[in-house]
A and B are shown apart, each in its own frame.
Chain A
Amino acid sequence: MSLLRRLLGTPEGAVGTVILCLLVLAALLAPVLFPADPLSIVGPALVPPFTDPSLPLGTDRLGRDVLAGLMHGAGTSLAVGIAAAAMAMIAGSLVGTLAGLAGGLVDEALMRVVDAFQIVPSFLLALAFVSVTGASLPVVITAIALGAWTGPARLARAEVLSIRERDYVAAARVLGMRPLEIAFREVLPNALPPVMALSSVIVAISVLTEAALSFLGLGDPNIVTWGSMIAQGRNVLRSAPFLSILPGIALMLTVLGVYLFSEGLADALARRRSRA
């Protein structure tokens, strides 16, 4: 509770929290306010924004409601960002913990695989993965996670290596706990918090990567995303630039909200630690 108050006490934390709350609200209200498929045609094409009260942000070149698209897109962006980040964090933590605990050849081999993933541009990897498996939401999420799990893996391994040497782990070993028991009861819970600190950056990067993929036409074609809205607006960029600009602003606000929130959270956590 006091952490939340301290989070809202920093300007970054307050603004970030407000932006993220608004986004979640938009995502939750989208199916209520716009129960129809946002890809369905609701009016004449290319209605400019703020001219028709029933279509506040106008329509695109096929006559689809821009506001409905934006609100449904918020859900997609958040869902993909969070799911991909969660997948990357879990996979990374598991691999990193395993490497750190096993040591020796296993560690060496796993870390070379991590290196390999790091020298391949993650966007190219995502591109290749989606093109092999076909564009659908789970595939896009996996493709993004493929390029994001190495950071958590490295960090988890480093944490495990340092925790392994600490007294309470040695004590657990003396008490006769089995290695796996030590790993899950003593090491993992202590290694996770620093790794969790990476999560917001990964969410932000995932949101941006998803947008770039769907901008290139590699997103799920049956779901409205901000990236695909930008791509479709691109065809009428000269006459109706707002079609590309609005979803871009939404995208930027989302990422900014995530960054501000994480900065505020880091501040709040640092102050709690300094007081303790």
Chain B
Amino acid sequence: MRRALLLLKRRAISSIPVLLIVIVGTFLLLEAAPGDAVDAYLLSIGGGDAALVASLRASYGLDQSTLARLWLYLTALAHFDLGWSVTFGRPIVDLILERLPNTLWLMGSALALSFSLGSILGVVAGARPGSATDRFLSIGSLALYAVPSFWLGLVLSVVFSVQLRWFPIAGIETIASGKHGIDRALDIARHLVLPVSALGFIYLALFLRMMRSGMAEAWRQDYALAARAKGLGRPRIVIRHIARNALLPLVTMLGLQAASMLGGSVVIESVFAIPGFGRLAQEAVAGRDAPLLIGIIVTSAVLVILVNLLVDITYALLDPRVGAAEAAA
């Protein structure tokens, strides 16, 4: 535990400059956009006179220099203030906090599904490398890995929502259902089945393939031969000696995929009309709402950093060799 905490502290400190680069970079990128939120707003209300434009610009601080506004933005950010969304007419922090849970549920369930199912199937495939089961799972996972997730989402909704009517076609829960507690949870779960499958299946294939190749690698190690020489039962060798070692790179991959999964949920949320974080990003793009888009990108970077810190702790707990030198020092 001490190793894990030391590691955590070091990683957390080293991610601060990285986050700063993200904030400044995103700010400057969106600064380059032709037109700003006021233009978009004027377009939506059908134009206005020069005095209105100037007062609007001044009220959003848009009349100052880029550097001055960057400084304003950073100081506001230090107080967890992400600014004001013109499109929604609300504070950006409120919007993000409102939408984030839906995305976290979607991502979390998809990660849990793909990681658990992928590693279990990977163990099945890697238990006997080269067997018929192994070949089948390898080829099947490669095919699955090539499926675009948004298209898979459409196909799943055609089959299971339109044809079979097993699952709702869109949304995160039944609107105005008046459900509470466990009923509401079940309702949300039913809405999440298809989007989670669409988002998770690709990663399932990825984890399966990694687990399988990790096991093939572990079988070639001396400790695998030693376990066989000890005459241990097959399940114990496969699970405790082989899979236990093959699991380590999977945990690392979990952290590496966090960002890509967050990106993937943008498209999936659009397919299933889930009012989440990704959908918010799309709405920000459509409304030319640069501050909102910056807020979304910065929040997602923080999210990815947090997931990676969690992954680092897990890894340190699973692999006794990690950080041993620092802890001893």
Contact = CB atoms under 8 A, between A and B. Distances in A.
* Chain A in direct contact with chain B (Cβ < 8 angstroms): yes
Interface of A: 112-113, 115-116, 118-125, 127-129, 131-133, 204, 208, 211-212, 215-216, 218, 230, 234, 237-238, 241, 244-245, 248, 251-253, 255-256, 259-260, 263
Given A124-B296, A124-B297, A237-B154, A216 B270 contact: yes
A112 B17 contact: yes
Interface of B: 15, 17-19, 21-22, 25-26, 29-30, 32-33, 142-143, 145-151, 154-155, 157-158, 162, 259-260, 262-264, 266-267, 270, 281-282, 285, 288, 293, 296-297, 300-301, 304-305, 308
Given A212-B267, A237-B158, 16 more contacts: A112-B17, A116-B18, A122-B260, A123-B264, A123-B266, A128-B293, A131-B33, A211-B151, A216-B270, A216-B282, A230-B154, A237-B157, A244-B154, A255-B145, A259-B145, A260-B142
Closest 4 CB pairs of A and B: A123-B263, A121-B263, A248-B151, A255-B146
Given A121-B262, A124-B266, A115 B300 contact: no
B41 to A, nearest CB: 16
Given A118-B259, A230-B154, A234-B154, A259 B285 contact: no
B260 to A, nearest CB: 7
17 contacts: A119-B19, A120-B297, A121-B304, A123-B260, A123-B267, A124-B263, A129-B29, A132-B29, A132-B32, A132-B33, A215-B267, A216-B282, A244-B151, A252-B146, A252-B147, A255-B146, A259-B146
Nearest to B263: A123
Given A112-B18, A121-B263, A123-B266, A212 B150 contact: yes
Contact of A120 (B143, B158, B266, B300): B300
Contact of A248 (B30, B142, B148, B162): B148
Contacts of B149: 212
Contacts of A132: 29-30, 32-33
A119 B18 contact: yes
B44 to A, nearest CB: 16
Contacts of A253: 146
Contacts of B157: 237
Contacts of B147: 248, 252, 255
Given A131-B285, A215-B267, A238-B162, A125 B297 contact: yes
Contact of A128 (B30, B155, B264): B30
Given A215-B150, A238-B162, A252-B148, A120 B259 contact: yes
Nearest to A233: B154
